[in-house]
Amino acid sequence: MKILVLGRGKTGVLVAEVARESGHEVRSLASQENQDGSGLTDELLHPIDVAIDFTTPHAVIPNIIRCAEAGIPMVVGTTGWHQHMDRVRELIRERNAALLYGSNFGIGMNLFFKAMQAIAPALKHGYRASIVERHHLDKKDKPSGTAVTIQRILESASGAKVEIASVREGDTVGMHLVMLDSPHDTILMTHDAKSRLGFAEGAVRAAEWLKGRAGFYEFPEIVDQI
């Protein structure tokens, strides 16, 4: 495939490397070259099979709009834009476009999400849940999109409010700790990413899956298919 990687940050660079190693032709576009989606010209997008976005919460919405208008399927790993989700879903439907969003493309974390679904009923039996997420100093959004996904899973299954505490320090790739506490015992579940390679590999596999499809998808829904 011909893949366009939007964003040349730490993860974007790794996504491009993994895509090339997987045999794909890759073009990368830095945020400075693409202010408000202005770099996504018809000429640039015409040969592209799938775009993969790892930019910023500010940049991602113009990129989504431009790719949807051009009919380019898009994998989005950028987080921090959840407030626009309904608007984006409607745009994808109206344009008969394709978008696959993942707050985390790591296979392990998506299995962790399934574990959260399994344990969420504890909140109806006297347990209180809290989340701690720790990331590197340069991370743009707080709380992390992954923590928000965990929060949504727990809250939707129980109706209980789940608080998130965010820590930014050093070069931490990403750690998520979920604590469920009751008067009788405490349950601790942790996912600690060792590198961004798992994110990159998952994003490229998601792009391979998305080609030829239409609709709005979230990565946990399709992770078993890749």
Interatomic CA distance for residues 185 and 165, integer angstroms: 21
Q: Identify how many contiguous H helices and E strands the chain contains and give both numbers.
A: 8, 10
pLDDT band at 222 (very low <50, low <70, confident <90, very high): very high
E strands present in the chain? 2-6, 25-29, 50-53, 74-76, 98-101, 128-135, 163-168, 174-181, 186-193, 215-218
> pLDDT tens-digit profile of 81-121?
989 999 999 999 999 999 999 999 999 999 999 999 999 99
User: What letter would DSSP give residue 172?
Assistant: -
pTM of the predicted model as reported, rounded to 2 decimal places? 0.87
> pLDDT tens-digit profile of 11-34?
999 999 999 999 999 999 998 899
> pLDDT tens-digit profile of 41-74?
999 999 999 999 999 999 999 999 999 999 999 9
Could you tell me if 95 and 132 are in contact, meaning their C-beta atoms sit under 8 angstroms apart? no
Interatomic CA distance for residues 65 and 177, integer angstroms: 34
Residue type at 16?
A: A
Per this entry, what is the length of the chain? Answer: 226
Q: Which of 224, 211, 221 is nearest to 98 (CA)?
A: 211
Could you tell me if 34 and 59 are in contact, meaning their C-beta atoms sit under 8 angstroms apart? yes
Mean pLDDT of all residues in 189-205: 95
Count the Cβ atoms, other than its own, within 10 Å of residue 62.
16
β-strand pairing of 215-218 with 98-101: parallel
E strands present in 119-161? 128-135
Q: Which residues are catalytic?
A: 135, 139
pLDDT band at 207 (very low <50, low <70, confident <90, very high): very high
β-strand pairing of 163-168 with 128-135: parallel
Edge to edge, the sheet with strand 25-29 lists 25-29, 2-6, 50-53, 74-76, 98-101, 215-218
Query: Residue 158 above 90 pLDDT?
Result: no
